């Protein structure tokens, strides 16, 4: 089962997702799993990751942490019924998958077949999370509210992210939007028809 939690940068979505995961874990008492997707590629990212690691160490609950910037589906077979998973976040994961090799000057993202391969991989992950015997809190950034981007890479990325978000929401049991620490429930239950009242 998926609970999808999205919002803008620094909206409070990760804090909300962590709190929801903790509350469910208190009822389930299986494993509390944190999948962190950040790839440490500069000093600013190193500081952010370190801060999150320190926060989790101070937490009252014992998170089992996987720091994995790509190929998340490889982890899923190790999780079991009743586990509570927090995946933070889809935007970073997609960036890692789509722009793989950019540090070496590679531009795989310019290939339509590579884009299709990344989308298929992401949709497969979403499907696995939705059908697994655990509860997965999936966090992502809302980036599609602004003016359309001018550069090609960002345009491809945002369009792909939008399609992945739609797929996540279609499979999610619940979808929540966080705006300035306000919780806006967008979906509850199994309704998939966006015209249904």
Q: Which residues are annotated as a binding site for GTP?
A: 7-14, 36-38, 67, 88
**Burial class for 114, CB neighbours closer than 10 Å (0-12, 13-18, 19+):** middle
d(CA 117, CA 22): 34
Residues with Cβ < 8 Å from 182, sequence gap 6 or more? none
Q: What are phi and psi of 142, to 5 degrees?
A: -90, 110
Residue from 46, 52, 124, 192 carrying the catalytic annotation: 52
In the residue annotation, 46 being an active-site residue is answered as no
Residues taking part in catalysis: 52
């Amino acid at each position: 089962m998926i609970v999808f939690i999205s919002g803008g940068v620094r909206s409070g979505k990760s804090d909300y997702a962590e709190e929801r995961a903790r509350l469910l874990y208190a009822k389930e008492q299986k494993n509390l799993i944190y999948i962190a997707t950040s790839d440490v590629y500069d000093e600013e990212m190193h500081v952010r990751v370190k801060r999150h690691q320190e926060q989790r160490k101070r937490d009252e609950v014992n998170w089992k942490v996987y720091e994995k910037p790509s190929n998340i589906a490889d982890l899923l077979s190790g999780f079991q019924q009743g586990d509570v998973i927090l995946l933070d976040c889809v935007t970073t994961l997609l960036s890692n998958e789509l722009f793989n090799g950019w540090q070496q000057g590679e531009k795989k993202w310019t290939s339509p077949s590579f884009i299709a391969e990344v989308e298929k991989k992401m949709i497969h992950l979403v499907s696995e999370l939705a059908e697994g015997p655990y509860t997965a809190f999936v966090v992502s950034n809302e980036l599609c509210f602004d003016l359309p981007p001018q550069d090609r890479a960002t345009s491809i990325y945002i369009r792909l992210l939008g399609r992945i978000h739609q797929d996540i929401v279609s499979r999610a049991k619940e979808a929540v939007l966080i705006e300035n620490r306000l919780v806006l429930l967008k979906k509850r239950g199994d309704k998939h028809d966006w015209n249904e009242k």
